[in-house]
Amino acid sequence: MWNTYLGKRLLGFKYATRGAWMLLRNEASIQVQAVVAVGITIAGFCFNISSTEWIAQTLAIGLVMSIEGLNTAAEEIANFVHPDFHDKIGYIKDVAAGAVFFAAGVAIIVACIIYIPKF
């Protein structure tokens, strides 16, 4: 069964779910982002945001959490390949963290666009 098209998709889903759980269980940065995501989702219900605002908010949350996961993966690979300090590894890790910074910045802008007018 696992060697069929559908079986391979189900296995992929299983691995992705396991990876998401591992991130949430082990990575403080993802845990913080998850708490913020829950808080902003609760705010969406409290402020009765529109469907368009829900779409923007959901995409922003997904963007930040996805990039945070990729950043974690890049850091883990870098640490595995070269556990000691190395300028190039530091550069790679900084660039990956910079990607999270951009995503988080966009998410903050989206949140401001949605919620500032509601006050």
pTM across the whole model: 0.89
CATH at 51: 1.10.287.3610
Calpha distance 20→41 (Å, rounded): 19
Domain that holds residue 80: 5-118
Q: What does the pLDDT read at residue 3?
A: 87
Residue with the two structure tokens 């945001």? 49
Give the number of other Cβ atoms within 10 Å of residue 9's Cβ.
Answer: 10
Q: How many domains does the chain have?
A: 1
Six-digit token pair at 16? 């992705």
Beta carbons within 8 Å of 54's beta carbon, 6+ residues apart: 44
Answer positive or negative: Cα dihedral of 7, 13, 15, 21: negative
At 100-117, the pLDDT tens digits run 999 999 999 999 999 999
Six-digit token pair at 22? 């591992």
Give the number of other Cβ atoms within 10 Å of residue 7's Cβ.
Answer: 11
